Amino acid sequence: MEQIPFISSAPNTLGIELELQLIDPRSFDLTAASDELLAQMANHPIADRVKPEITRSMIELNSSVHEHPMGLLAEMREMRDALIEAADAVGVSVAGGGAHPFMRWQERSISDTPRFQYLAEMYGYLARQFTVFGQHIHLGVKSGDDSIKLLRRLSPYVPHFIALSASSPYCEGVDTLFSCSRLNAVNSFPLAGHMPPEVKDWYQFEAHLAQLRAYGLAESIKDLYWDIRPKPEFGTVEIRVCDTPLTVERACQIAAFAQALAVLLMREGDPGDGAWLSYRSNHFQACRFGLQGSYVTPDGQRLRLMDHLRNLFQRLMPVAEELGTGDMIAALRDESMRSGNDSRWLRSQFHRLRDLPLVVEAMSSAWRGIASPGVGPAEPTAVLRRRIRATSEPMSSLPASEPGVSVPIPERLH
């Protein structure tokens, strides 16, 4: 059996990847501009951390390694500003969010790299439907065994990451009724899901991958579209379920949450088999209903995800104070409990504007760091043919509005 070397990293270090939308500033649809944008940034100091993604309407930002999320935030703000400057120069806009609200997958163009061209040939139309946008969080660990230990402990908290980051309520012009629709595209791939529960150390992980290779089911770890997977060449555990938030501030708050949670969980025991029994149901509930979803704990207790998350924040705060991230995690807690996630904000924008292109414009403004996009309600004639009527989270503070009448929205976006 081939051994997989694991490069040791300093525990509790972190980094993130953000997949971003490239927007036509006139139509607010996606535009295939990644080649032009990469060329524009070719001589910039951060050029090596701006990458193409599977379709040309996407771009990826990769942070460096950080010990503290505030350093990560400072770097991500610098990278955001540099990307915006380059995007302005080539005549495109940039936005966060887990999915574009009205793009058509049929119009997407696959990036010209061997890996992406292989995926397009292997998976057919699924490759172009994979024009969705996620945040990946890397947590440093010192060994392969520790990576599996942390991965197992993090698995019951996958719904919490989904709900906190959810920003993909719209797909192809309609409200999906999901808080996170993006993961439905990810789950189409045959090796999506989670690590088998019987894998409990690095040797067993190596054996599992060797068996997949022997059966012709996978060639490398890259073929594992798991919610969380080890990244041995980086020395990290990679959390892959988050939608890309609408702002770098929320992205770094969620990274700080992940770091503190990892420290807490490595002091605790293995979650046990009950965590896997409820895994798929908890995953669905978080995607469908966000913070309002049901959650079943590893010991079989059933409660609202928001209530479990509220208790988790209480457990996390002492660890966050140790790490010096109390302010960031408290901000994430307070904003999530008060205003909900980005999916709720996007729905509030649609209720106010009644036009999905204007919602995309608000997304672009939010990415630039403008909390209040400043776009007034659309005229009654601008209401889309397919009106959004349902939501995936209770929004009693957002009553149905008459055309042209503004509706209250959450106080601020992060």
CB atoms closer than 10 angstroms to residue 239: 27
Within-domain flag for 179? yes
Q: Kindly state the tokens that stand for 372.
A: 């209040």
Confidence of residue 107 (pLDDT cuts 50, 70, 90): confident
pLDDT score of 261 more than 50 = yes
For residue 394, is it within any domain?
A: no
Is the residue at 66 inside a domain? no
Judged against a pLDDT cut of 60, whether residue 282 lies above it is answered with yes
Mean pLDDT within 116-127 = 83
pLDDT of residue 174: 95
- Give the separation between CA 85 and CA 37, rounded to whole angstroms: 10
How far from 307 is each of 153, 300, 376, CA to CA, in Å? 20, 15, 35
Q: What angle do CA 386, 391, 396 make, to 5 degrees?
A: 125
What is the span of the domain harbouring residue 259?
A: 110-367
pLDDT at 135: 98
Please give the tally of structural domains in the chain: 1
Which of 379, 157, 405, 345 lies closest to 266, judged by CA? 157
Determine, yes or no, domain membership for 202: yes
Q: Do the domain assignments include residue 198?
A: yes
Q: Are 57 and 45 in contact (CB under 8 A)?
A: no
* Vertex 374 angle, CA 104 and 73, to 5°: 75
User: What is the structure's pLDDT at 382?
Assistant: 32
Residue 322 belongs to a domain: yes
State pTM to two decimals.
0.89
**Range with the poorest average pLDDT among 174-188, 252-266, 372-386:** 372-386
Q: Does residue 397 fall inside a structural domain?
A: no
Contact (Cβ atoms closer than 8 angstroms) between residue 298 and residue 275: yes
The predicted-structure confidence for 55-95, as pLDDT tens digits, reads as follows: 999 999 999 999 999 999 999 999 999 999 999 999 999 99
CA distance 341 to 346: 9
Q: Cβ distance 341 to 167 under 8 Å?
A: yes
Q: Contact, 305 vs 313, CB < 8 A?
A: no
Token pair listed for 67: 């010990």
Q: Quick one: pLDDT at residue 395? A: 35
CATH number at residue 281: 3.30.590.20
Mean pLDDT of the chain: 89
User: Distances from the Cα of 60 to the Cαs of 17, 43, 49, 127, 363, in angstroms?
Assistant: 7, 17, 8, 17, 17
Q: Residue 402: its pLDDT value, please?
A: 37
Positive or negative, the CA dihedral 414, 296, 395, 187 is positive
Among 101-115, 201-215, 242-256, 363-377, name the one with the lowest average pLDDT: 363-377
Token representation of residue 287: 């995607």
Mean pLDDT of 210-234: 95
Per residue in 141-166, pLDDT (tens digit) is: 999 999 999 999 999 999 999 999 99
H/E segment holding residue 38: helix 34-40
pLDDT in tens, 299-313: 999 999 999 999 999
The two tokens of residue 272 are 């046990």
Q: Tell me, what DSSP letter sits at residue 225?
A: E
Give the Cα separation of 74 and 80 in Å (integer): 10
381 CB-near residues (< 8 Å, 6+ apart): none
Give the tens place of pLDDT for each residue, 189-201. Answer: 899 999 999 999 9
Q: What is the pLDDT of residue 375?
A: 35
Asked whether residue 373 is assigned to any structural domain, the reply reads: no
Residue type, 309: L
Q: What does DSSP say about strands 174-175 and 302-304: parallel, antiparallel, or unpaired?
A: unpaired
What are 14's strand-pairing partners?
A: 66, 139
Percent of the chain whose pLDDT exceeds 90? 79
State the pLDDT confidence band at 2, using cuts at 50, 70 and 90. Answer: confident
Judged by DSSP in three states, 58 sits in strand
Tokens of 296: 């079943």
Quick one: pLDDT band at residue 1, thresholds 50, 70, 90? confident
